């Protein structure tokens, strides 16, 4: 009987240790999640700001050089049309 009592005490101690370790693990995961969210938010904010700056720069360039902008857009349209017609032609 004393042997069984010792085993039960050992099990209770191991169970308590596992509970403590699980609690620390939960706290670590929670802190890691908060850090990742913060970093993701910062990265998304910077990307959005760069996109706004790029859009403003494109708008500024198109206002300063309307003929060049129209020529670039026309060229892009020709290239897109060529690629679409090639794709449709190869499907037949």
Per the listing, tokens 């020529």 go with: 71
Answer for the pair 72, 80: CB distance below 8 angstroms, yes or no: no
CB 69 within 8 A of CB 62: yes
> The pTM is what?
0.47
State pLDDT tens for residues 45-82: 999 999 999 999 999 999 999 999 999 999 999 999 99
Residue with tokens 């999640």: 33
């Amino acid at each position: 009987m004393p042997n069984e009592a010792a085993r039960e005490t050992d099990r209770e101690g191991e169970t308590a240790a596992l509970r403590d370790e699980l609690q620390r693990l939960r706290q670590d995961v929670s802190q890691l999640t908060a850090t990742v969210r913060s970093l993701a938010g910062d990265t998304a904010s910077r990307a959005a700001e760069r996109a706004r700056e790029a859009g403003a720069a494109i708008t500024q360039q198109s206002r300063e050089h309307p003929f060049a902008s129209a020529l670039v857009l026309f060229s892009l349209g020709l290239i897109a049309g060529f690629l679409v017609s090639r794709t449709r032609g190869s499907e037949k």
